[in-house]
Amino acid sequence: MHHKTIAELAACLRRGKLTSTDLTRHYLARIERLEPRLNSYISVDAAGALAAADRADARLGRGEGGPLTGIPIAHKDIFCTKGLRTSCGSRMLDSFVAPYDATVVERLEQAGAVMLGKTNMDEFAMGSSNETSFYGPVRNPWDVQRVPGGSSGGSAAAVAARLCAAATGTDTGGSIRQPAAFCGVTGIKPTYGRVSRYGMIAYGSSLDQGGVIARTAQDCALLLRAMAGFDPRDSTSVERPVPDYPAGLDTDIAGLRIGVPEEWLGTGLDSGVGTVVTDALIRFEAMGARVERIRLPHSPLCVAGYYVVAMSEASSNLARYDGVRFGHRCRNPADLTDLYQRSRAEGFGTEVKRRIMIGTYALSAGYYDAYYLKAQKIRRLIADDFRRAFEQVDVIMGPVAPTPAFPLGAKTDDPVRMYLSDIYTLSLNLAGLPGMSIPAGFSADLPVGLQLIGSYWDETRLLAIAHQWQQTTDWHRAAPDFEP
């Protein structure tokens, strides 16, 4: 039953062919048996999941509930969950139990979804490989010696391995789309402001956005409809009606204008990935779309601009972890300064410390204009590139990452090489645009994702394009053979 999509499972639950309790027990048994090979979960809440499943069965028995009622999902461990540890993959928050639920968690619970547990992630969402977690690296179920991508690698690996029906994720610079591509599943990052950030632990506040990782575009549409919408508790949430995403999936894509950035198909792109992307574009043409080359001339500046902005915001956001109010506190501090210094030194990992230091430097009085202000100007230029592009085309397509999943440890000693893993995804976050990754093929037996980029608030179109693609291809049905 774990090979069924959410839409298929929901139909079985509504017809009484399956109970949520049986389904939840099935997923919990798979997690217990297979999780040690992947390390995709940080916390599993079996008792809470079974209690939620029992409530879901009662609702379904009364003829109530919706398409997510009784569906077992997981949450990235960056979303606060009342009564269950929220660690953000860090020693700093290893013992933190939130007194409230994030809005995303709250809304999916109201929709009847069953939370199995919290998935592993790069520490404070800072990473492209899920190797910076305090709890150890996550392994890719397609090849356990390779990374699943980051920072939502635990969510992507769990969905790919069928250890949950779907999972939430967050995307600051590609952290939903890149792991979805590496693990052969579907992921969507909505427009900035579409999904509430309340209760989502901050990394880069002007970049972070919650989203979904699932098997299919249809499943993503079901979850996004429940998650999205205005939240007065989040000052970055936009008061805008939420479309009925599932209802728009059958939109015909004949005549669709697809733009392919010239800057994304040159040096640095793995030949196998390039072949998969080219073949996908040919297939879209056969489906009635028109493909044309476009220019995003400021794309080469996105890595430098993004990391200055992101690290500066990280430096500010992580200042609150001082060993006083919550989080890790060192033993027997000599004085207040010693408390601050040792608590932060012990609580944060190497990559988080690196980003805090760089961000603090960029925000300092003598360098603010030279770095942070200039990065914000680059951000504006990148957003303008996309605005001009969407005057010519309806959607932009290209690779998600330069390569398929790389071996564990291959880039941990070279931060710049690691940062370049996100070269095709960062610009969307700088501009605040929606984007998706959909399974499009394989290179050297590893999944390759195709990136779809829409204009602001165009999630309905992206989900429809992805759904139509998945009606004519089987890449999203492929499952990794990792079980012993």
Q: Is residue 102 part of a domain?
A: yes
Q: Is residue 214 part of a domain?
A: yes
Q: 37 is in which domain, residue-wise?
A: 6-252+434-448+465-477
| Tokens encoding 165 | 């029906």
Residue 40 is among the residues annotated as catalytic for this protein:
no
Q: Is residue 319 part of a domain?
A: no
Q: Which of 129, 152, 175, 315 is catalytic?
A: 175
> pTM higher than 0.95 for the full model?
yes
Residue 484 confidence (pLDDT): 81
Residue 440 CA to residue 422 CA, distance in Å, equals: 18
Torsion (CA) 220, 222, 226, 228 in degrees, nearest 10: 40
Q: What is the pLDDT of residues 244-290, one digit of tens each?
A: 999 999 999 999 999 999 999 888 999 999 999 999 999 999 999 99
Residue 129 is among the residues annotated as catalytic for this protein:
no
Residue 353 is among the residues annotated as catalytic for this protein:
no
- DSSP codes joined into one string, 40-92: -EEEE-HHHHHHHHHHHHHHHHTT---TTTT-EEEEETTB-BTTBB--TTSGG
Q: Is residue 336 part of a domain?
A: no
Q: Which of 76, 118, 189, 411 is catalytic?
A: 76
| Tokens encoding 377 | 């100007």
Percent of the chain with pLDDT over 90: 98
Q: What's the domain count of the chain?
A: 1
Residue 101 CA to residue 227 CA, distance in Å, equals: 13
Residue 267 confidence (pLDDT): 82
Q: Is residue 367 part of a domain?
A: no
Q: Is residue 342 part of a domain?
A: no
Q: Which of 20, 151, 343, 427 is catalytic?
A: 151
Q: Is residue 260 part of a domain?
A: no
∠ CA 395-217-423 to the nearest 5 degrees? 50
Q: Given a cut of 90, is residue 170 above it in pLDDT?
A: yes
Residue 33: what are its φ and ψ, rounded to 5°?
Answer: -85, -35
Residue 1 confidence (pLDDT): 85
Q: What is the pLDDT of residues 429-473, one digit of tens each?
A: 999 999 999 999 999 999 999 999 999 999 999 999 999 999 999
The mean per-residue pLDDT over the stretch 131-150 comes to 98
- Residue 111: CATH number of its domain: 3.90.1300.10
